[in-house]
């Protein structure tokens, strides 16, 4: 499978207010940990999507032991921040507000882990929401074994940073894109809808689409690529067109895109296929960098307001989607699971359409 299903959500917030000796760090987010913290993370970088998250164990201020091994079946969101950094403090405030907003949802548990003296932690948290949050305070001594192990295993070299772990203990994401104050609540909303998606999807095919196979796309639907060139569906009539919805933060999309590039685009472009990746709600600069980072040659389309996506998919639908439009402008294929079997079906459909 190229996707992960989530049942419930656990959010963990880590605060590091000591053990950072770089004075400039307090003034600028994103600089590197120094001293003990940098020693703990000699291998900086992103955590690979789908890889198994390293286990960790901490004790709450109430004496309860929490470990990742005991959290299977939940999604774990680790928010790493510092009171020495304004941006990351603001990010933690967003997490606190989200915990308050959904405090009645028993499927979501927020955990805050602060690397402080207890009094320092109290001084900050006394001004913040504590509802629906399990709190952990660890020693501000950078030689603390649990803290150093976590920093090393999770490659924590800079803050703020957010790591998301799936219900099977797999890495879903090692950062949440800016602006955090809007994207984080959207992510939580998405995970809260996951169980509903699973239940509905198991009974009704194509449940989260607004469109159906056989529907004709509007002739004036526009696809604008970063260089400014605009395609309309009217312009593309007579062509076989593949549309893929994607975004930089979507781990499933990142895993799918090399398959589309190497197994679909490069194979069928010489036979007349047109393919577009429609980037969801991200600016031009981000989209250009995304294409470069993914090393893809099929064009990405700007969907900065999300209206193209919303034309095809319901509000609570998943992002990762692939559809094929026939020469007559009608939808010939809609993806559902994007597993190996469905990718084979998609290739067969493309071959059929291109050769008729």
- The answer on 234 and 142 residing in a single domain is no
Quick: pLDDT tens for 70-121.
Answer: 887 777 888 887 777 788 788 888 988 888 887 776 667 777 777 777 777 7
Q: Based on the structure, what is the number of domains in the chain?
A: 2
Q: Please check whether residue 95 is in contact with residue 15, taking contact to mean a CB–CB distance below 8 angstroms.
A: no
Quick: pLDDT tens for 256-278.
Answer: 999 999 999 999 999 999 999 99
- The answer on 165 and 257 residing in a single domain is no
- The answer on 178 and 287 residing in a single domain is no
- The answer on 184 and 319 residing in a single domain is no
- The answer on 227 and 187 residing in a single domain is no
Quick: pLDDT tens for 27-68.
Answer: 222 323 332 333 333 334 678 888 999 998 887 778 888 888
Tell me if residue 260 falls in helix, strand or coil: helix
**108 in any annotated domain:** yes
**165 in any annotated domain:** yes
- The answer on 254 and 155 residing in a single domain is no
- The answer on 195 and 226 residing in a single domain is no
Quick: pLDDT tens for 118-144.
Answer: 777 787 777 776 667 777 777 666 677
**4 in any annotated domain:** no
**1 in any annotated domain:** no
Quick: pLDDT tens for 273-311.
Answer: 999 999 999 999 999 999 999 999 999 999 999 999 999
- The answer on 229 and 166 residing in a single domain is no
Quick: pLDDT tens for 13-34.
Answer: 555 444 332 222 222 223 233 3
Query: Is the pTM higher than 0.75?
Result: no
**232 in any annotated domain:** yes
In which residue are the tokens 């036979």 written?
A: 271
Q: Which domain holds residue 90?
A: 9-200
Return d(Cα 240, Cα 69) in angstroms, integer. 47
- The answer on 165 and 32 residing in a single domain is yes
- The answer on 239 and 180 residing in a single domain is no
**342 in any annotated domain:** yes
Q: Which two tokens stand for residue 303?
A: 């969907």
**42 in any annotated domain:** yes
- The answer on 151 and 67 residing in a single domain is yes
Of 169, 200, 231, the residue at which a domain comes to its end is 200
CATH number at residue 72: 3.40.30.10
In which residue are the tokens 């990718």 written?
A: 343
pLDDT score of 146 = 82
Close Cβ partners of 198 (under 8 Å, ≥ 6 residues apart): 5
**212 in any annotated domain:** no
């Amino acid at each position: 499978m190229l996707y992960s299903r989530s049942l419930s959500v656990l959010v963990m917030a880590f605060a590091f207010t000591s053990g950072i000796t770089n004075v400039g760090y307090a003034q600028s987010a994103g600089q590197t940990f120094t001293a003990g913290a940098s020693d703990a993370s000699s291998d900086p970088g992103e955590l690979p999507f789908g890889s198994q998250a390293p286990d960790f164990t901490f004790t709450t201020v109430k004496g309860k032991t929490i470990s990742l091994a005991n959290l299977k079946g939940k999604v774990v969101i680790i928010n790493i921040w510092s009171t020495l950094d304004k941006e990351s403090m603001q990010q933690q405030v967003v997490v606190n507000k989200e915990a308050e907003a959904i405090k009645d949802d028993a499927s979501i548990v927020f955990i805050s882990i602060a690397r402080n003296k207890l009094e320092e932690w109290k001084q900050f948290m006394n001004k913040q929401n504590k509802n629906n949050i399990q709190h952990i305070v660890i020693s501000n001594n950078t030689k603390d074994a649990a803290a150093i192990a976590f920093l090393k295993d999770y490659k924590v070299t800079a803050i703020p940073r957010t790591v998301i772990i799936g219900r099977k203990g797999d890495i879903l994401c090692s950062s949440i894109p800016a602006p955090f104050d809007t994207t984080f609540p959207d992510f939580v909303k998405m995970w809260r809808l996951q169980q509903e998606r699973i239940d509905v999807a198991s009974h009704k095919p194509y449940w989260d689409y607004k469109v159906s196979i056989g529907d004709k796309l509007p002739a004036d639907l526009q696809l604008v690529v970063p260089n400014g060139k605009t395609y309309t569906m009217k312009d593309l009539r007579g062509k076989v067109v593949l549309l893929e919805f994607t975004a930089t933060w979507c781990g499933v999309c990142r895993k799918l895109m090399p398959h589309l590039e190497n197994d679909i685009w490069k194979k069928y472009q010489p036979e007349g296929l047109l393919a577009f990746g429609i980037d969801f709600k991200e600016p031009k600069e981000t989209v250009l960098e995304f294409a470069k980072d993914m090393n893809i040659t099929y064009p990405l389309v700007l969907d900065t307001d999300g209206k193209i996506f919303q034309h095809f998919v319901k509000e609570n639908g998943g992002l990762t989607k692939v559809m094929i439009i026939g020469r007559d402008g009608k939808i010939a294929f809609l993806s559902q699971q994007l597993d190996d079997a469905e990718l084979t079906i998609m290739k067969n459909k493309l071959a059929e359409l291109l050769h008729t």
